[in-house]
Structure 1
Amino acid sequence: MTRLTRREWLAISATLAIACERSQRSSDTRTPRRVVSLSPGTTESVFAIGAGSRLVGRSKFCDFPAEAAKLPSVGGFVDPSFEAILGLAPDLVIGVQGPGGRELADRLSQRGIATYFPGTDSFAEITAMLHGLGERLDSSAGAKRVTDDITAQRKAVAKALEGRPRPRALMVFGLRPIVVAGRGGFPNEMLTLAGADNVVTSERYPTLGVERVLALDPDVVIDTTGVAGHKTEQLHADLPGWKELRAIKEHHLVVIDDERVMRPGPRVGQGLVVLAKALHPKVSIPS
């Protein structure tokens, strides 16, 4: 067996020490300290998992929690200011999949800035997004707590609605033109879990004419356009042909202006409870 000289041992020890130091530096930089978030859902999520102190910038649409609104804005998600983002010196930029996301991620990567743009178009993807943020921001325990809450709220709704009749629903995002929720995607899943069946069979977010809406004949219309309640009812009544809709005649119009219902993020379980209660007002659903 070959014996190492003292000089060789010292050389090896020095090499190992340098390697450990480099490894520690690499480990330190692996957890981002300056994060810019470009979507309301990811901004909420960072705060919800307990990593809000790492946020240094947001999109102009990020308004919850209140602390988020105090952060510098870098513009919208589709058209953020690249210079404003760089000016905040982030080591991680987050958002969701959407228009311009891939191009922005590529430009940031060229500058050595890490990005995370996950899908959030289903409960499963929202859960994965939360865990992904937890892993990146050293907040896995916080992410698990949030996702456990979402799971508990889903189960509570499912239990409360078990065996209940399922109304045929039309979820509306716009009235001029009429834009609705189709099959596939997050809004359709919310409808299904909230105890309703979507009357629209086409994919994603189709635009429909009044004649088509009349033919679909939903039991209930869910308006998510964000207009104040009584004004929304008047708007529906004034739309040409719309007042002939059975759901409107029978006053089965549900106005949803609660952002939790349509914002894929940590409060999605709460949003599901809100929607389920609106669709099934006589059913006791724990919040």
Structure 2
Amino acid sequence: MATRIRARLYSLIWPGKCKPRGVHRRLLLLTLGLLPVWAWAQASAPESAQRIVSLAPHITELVFAAGAGNRLIGTVQSSDFPKDVETLRRVGDGLHIDPETLISLQPDLVLGWQAGATQAVAPILKTLGIPLVHINPKSVQDIPDAIEKIGRLTDNNVSAGAAAESIRERLTHLKQQAPTQPVSIVLEINPAPLYVVGNDPLLNNALQYCNATNHFADVPQAAPLIGLENLLANQPDFIVIRSESNRLMKERTEFLAAKGVQAARQGKIIGIDPDLLFRPGPRLVDALEQLCAQLQDQR
């Protein structure tokens, strides 16, 4: 039985005629040989996961928010918060997960999301009986729900529940304090070429807490490429840009102002840390609090 499963996994990782030879094949089979017996039969998430691998940076942050950061044994390259993640093994990046490294960690739970590299390793995990649970917030309200879900998976309900409730209270406060006058916003992802947030349900939902709307919410793409002439034709009330440094913010503001963007000429350029704003994790609420406060000050 174990031999058949190993063969099936081997074909999943290297389909067709692209199978590795020599040392690469031996390394894979050695890795599979190190798997404990329970890995071949386990089909459902454990009641209290002890060895967790996170396949996205926002999931890593959610695990720590749930009070289960000490259960993490691996994550992806882009996971950089909190500082405790520096010592974790890396199993790949957002585009590719190394199945050998992932399996060698012997996780009893893998947390992924319904995009990116997670889908590539899902058949392998299913074959091995390693539970894969998706954490994929679609709205801001889903973030505290995700924390509680991780709390249940790790038997960490008390601390996870407290963290989730704190976030819900902050969101309620934001909604109560939101100004009555709506504003339109462009969320800049990359300045050159100019990519902006488009049809992104999570971020468009998040802006509602500041009584703001995304000027490009109706375009089909989540991150459309637009020309400067498109920005000039639409003239949003505010533009949110990446806040890597004061110098870069100043240069970007001056560039947009010189091109005729009214928001830049009126000082309505807001800088937000992209890791806070674009990750669907607990720090998105931090970004919202900053954004709402700055919108209120500059309305």
Give secondary structure in 1 for the equivalent of 2:113.
coil
* Cα deviations by residue, 1:184-225 (Å, 9 ceiling, x for unpaired): 42222222212312222314222111111111111111013x
Q: Distance in 2 between matches of 1:27 and 1:179?
A: 40
Offset, 1:114: 0.8
The amino acid of 2:239's aligned partner reads: V
Q: Distance in 2 between matches of 1:233 and 1:257?
A: 15
Offset, 1:142: 2.4
Q: Distance in 2 between matches of 1:74 and 1:28?
A: 20
Is 1:194 the counterpart of 2:171? The answer is no
Match of 1:254 in 2: 270
Give secondary structure in 1 for the equivalent of 2:145.
helix
Match of 2:240 in 1: 222
Q: Distance in 1 between matches of 2:99 and 2:271?
A: 37
Q: Distance in 2 between matches of 1:167 and 1:28?
A: 44
Match of 1:271 in 2: 287
Structure-1-length-normalised TM-score = 0.81
Match of 1:66 in 2: 83
- Specify which of 155, 158, 173 is matched with residue 175 of structure 2: 158
Offset, 1:172: 0.6
Give secondary structure in 1 for the equivalent of 2:114.
coil
- Specify which of 213, 216, 226 is matched with residue 231 of structure 2: 213
Question: Which 10-residue stretch deviates more, 176-185 or 228-237?
Answer: 228-237
The amino acid of 1:213's aligned partner reads: L
Q: Distance in 1 between matches of 2:49 and 2:254?
A: 52
List alignment gaps of at least 5 residues for structure 1: 1-25
The amino acid of 2:186's aligned partner reads: L
Q: Distance in 2 between matches of 1:199 and 1:161?
A: 18
* Cα deviations by residue, 1:10-33 (Å, 9 ceiling, x for unpaired): xxxxxxxxxxxxxxxx99954221
Is 1:123 the counterpart of 2:148? The answer is no
Does structure 2 conserve the Cα–Cα contact (< 8 Å) formed by 1:35 and 1:92? yes
The amino acid of 2:88's aligned partner reads: L
Q: Distance in 2 between matches of 1:191 and 1:38?
A: 26
Give secondary structure in 2 for the equivalent of 1:280.
helix
Question: Which 10-residue stretch deviates more, 82-91 or 192-201?
Answer: 192-201
* Cα deviations by residue, 1:206-246 (Å, 9 ceiling, x for unpaired): 2111111111111111013x53232233135346x962111
Match of 2:49 in 1: 32
Q: Distance in 2 between matches of 1:273 and 1:28?
A: 35
Over the matched positions of the two proteins, sequence identity in percent amounts to: 27
Question: Which 10-residue stretch deviates more, 188-197 or 31-40?
Answer: 188-197
Q: In terms of Rg, which structure is larger?
A: 1
Is 1:174 the counterpart of 2:190? The answer is yes
The amino acid of 2:85's aligned partner reads: A
Q: Distance in 2 between matches of 1:193 and 1:67?
A: 31
Is 1:107 the counterpart of 2:131? The answer is no
Does structure 2 conserve the Cα–Cα contact (< 8 Å) formed by 1:97 and 1:120? no
Does structure 2 conserve the Cα–Cα contact (< 8 Å) formed by 1:260 and 1:267? yes
Question: Which 10-residue stretch deviates more, 272-281 or 258-267?
Answer: 258-267
Distance 1:71 1:184, change over 3 A: closer
Give secondary structure in 2 for the equivalent of 1:207.
coil
Question: How is 1:9-48 mapped onto 2 (pairs within 5 angstroms)?
Answer: 30-48=47-65
Q: Distance in 2 between matches of 1:166 and 1:277?
A: 14
Runs of 4+, deviation exceeding 3 Å? 26-30, 235-239
Distance 1:227 1:139, change over 3 A: same
* Cα deviations by residue, 1:112-149 (Å, 9 ceiling, x for unpaired): 21111232231233233222212211122222212211
Distance 1:62 1:184, change over 3 A: closer
Does structure 1 conserve the Cα–Cα contact (< 8 Å) formed by 2:67 and 2:156? yes
The amino acid of 1:192's aligned partner reads: Q
Does structure 1 conserve the Cα–Cα contact (< 8 Å) formed by 2:54 and 2:110? yes
The amino acid of 2:157's aligned partner reads: S
Give secondary structure in 2 for the equivalent of 1:281.
helix
List alignment gaps of at least 5 residues for structure 2: 1-42
Offset, 1:282: 6.5
- Specify which of 113, 135, 146 is matched with residue 96 of structure 1: 113
* Cα deviations by residue, 1:38-75 (Å, 9 ceiling, x for unpaired): 11111111122111221111111111111111211122
